[in-house]
Each structure stands twice: as structure tokens, then as C-alpha cells.
Amino acid sequence: MRIHRPNRTWERLRREHRVIHWAAAQRLPVHPPLRDDQGETLLEVEGRIVALFPWLPGRSLERGAVTPEQAAAMGDMHGRLHATLARYDDPELPSFAHVMPSENPDADLRDCHARLSEVDLTATDRTIIVEYLDRHLALLEAERGRPPLQPTLVGTQPIHGDYHERNILVDEAGRITAVVDWDMVRTLPRALEVARTITFSLFLGETPLVEPYLAAYGEHVTLAPEECEEAVALWWEYVLRDTWLARTRIIDRDPLVQPFFAESIEHHFRYLADPAFRVWLAGEFGRWAGPRR
């Protein structure tokens, strides 16, 4: 039974269930929610919206311990998803304009900094959050005055929205048996989601995971040359303006997101903040998933 967060609306959850049922009809490895005798997949129980899914065998991949073979399996499935979802038509999907983060990230982060004393934290957690906030504000200041992006949004199509190693299930042989958690389905540039997945799955840096992921993805989707550079630039813009983590931990007091502060410092800020690394990453997109492969 999935008990949805209080901020999830009926409209958003029905949108999620529509795409899951459609994807199942296309023989993608998804498992639609069960229906009641009225055909409904969502119910309200004690003021919360719930859905019931069939129990699935399998496991999620271990965060930070994905092997090159597992990265290739993830890339292969991601390519299959994008190739198939390109045919999906739902005018109610949120678009790029609806999902970009804060217009004033500086103010959001400074507000979080000011309210940090209100949160019950261990000394270690507080130190990491302060380092995160200071680094994030410094990066925003360093980028101030940069010409605004004028994205063409090439390759825009329906996407899963939150594809990473924790939203798939694999069997004992390492085969992906299910792609789960579709509540962030939306319309975005497909290569932007690829950049997001690579980052959130901790594939950046010294790990040999970007190449097998992109090579397998490229067996299903060919990214146009202009997609590759734009996707990385858009993703860096998103990371700069995204204050979700700080707000969720400090304003909403959600302790479950605490590990993401250290990950953001080590992966998002360490690698993506380097212009040379972003050039390299865009080149890898074109090398393994572009027309030159």
C-alpha cells in the first residue's frame, strides 16, 4: 500500500496512474496499481490518498555501489523508456516552464541559513548543512552576471521524471524487472533527465559508470548534437537554482533528506561546478549517445 504525501493532489496521482497503465500496455516493465470494484485506483483513507500495488519481487540497487554492468542495464532501460514515451500523449503533463526551481535561490538559501538554529540537529549534521549553504551561495555569487540561458528545449518529450537506481527493481541476475514511482512524470528535454539521472545515481567523478550508461542508452535513442551541450548547461542551471533540499530539511524538518547534503557537496558542487567537467560531460553525451557513435 502506498500512502501518498499530503501535498500530492488527486490530479497529479491520476496523471501518474494513467502513464503507468499506458506504459504497461507498451510492454514496459511497470506494474499498475490495483483497481477496486468501481474501477478506481486511488482511495481516501482517513484523509490520506492511498493506492494498492501488487507485491513485486526484486530489489533496488545499492546506492553508491552500482557496477558498470548495472549502470549499462540502467542506461538500456532509460533509453527504452524515452524511445517509448516519445509516443505518449497527455496534455496535462507539466512542462519545462512548470518545473524549473526557485526564481530567487539566494533569498531562499539565506532564509534557510537564518532559520537553521530552529532545527534540532546533531553537531555533525549542522556543520554539513552550513557547509552546503555556504558553498551553494558562493556558487550563485560566482555565476552572477552570466548571460541567461536561451534554451531551445530540443528533444522535449514525456519522461519518467525521477529515474535513478532506487526507482528500479532488479532480479538475482541483475535484470530490471520494474520501473517504479512515476509521480514526477512530465515533459522535459530527454537529455536533461539523463544528466539528472547520472548525477543523482552518483555516477559522476572517477567512477567508470558514465560511459556504459550512455552507451546502452544510445542503443535506443540518438541525441542530436545540440541536445548534449544544452542538457548539461540546463542541468547546471537547475542545480544552481534548486533549493528543495535546504527547504525540505530546514523548513519542513524532514530528516530523511539529510544524507543528500554531503552527496551534493561531493558530487553536484565538486564536479558540475567545474566548467571543464561540464564540457567533458557534454562530450560524453555526444560520444556515446549522439550520431557520431
66 plus 51 within the same structural domain: no
Residue type, 256: L
Per-residue pLDDT of the chain (293 residues; tens, 9 = 90+): 999 988 899 999 999 999 999 999 999 999 999 999 999 999 999 999 999 999 988 999 998 899 999 999 999 999 999 999 999 999 999 997 777 777 899 999 999 999 999 999 999 999 999 999 999 999 999 999 888 888 899 999 999 999 999 999 999 888 999 999 999 999 999 999 999 999 999 999 877 999 999 999 999 999 999 999 999 999 999 999 999 999 999 999 999 999 999 999 998 899 999 999 999 999 999 999 998 65
42 plus 150 within the same structural domain: no
For residue 223, give the nearest of 151, 271, 282 by alpha carbon: 282
Positive or negative, the Cα torsion across 12, 13, 15, 20? Answer: positive
Domain range for residue 5? Answer: 1-55
33 plus 161 within the same structural domain: no
48 plus 98 within the same structural domain: no
- Domain limit, last residue, from 38, 55, 72: 55
Cβ atoms within 10 A of the Cβ of 117, count? 9
25 plus 81 within the same structural domain: no
For residue 15, give the nearest of 98, 74, 76, 72 by alpha carbon: 98
Please indicate, yes or no, whether the overall pTM of this predicted structure exceeds 0.85.
Answer: yes
Question: Do the beta carbons of residue 221 and residue 190 sit within 8 Å?
Answer: yes
In 55-167, alpha helices (H): 68-85, 96-99, 105-115, 123-143
109 plus 85 within the same structural domain: yes
8 plus 84 within the same structural domain: no
Cα–Cα distance list, 281 to 164, 182, 188, 271 (Å): 18, 27, 19, 10
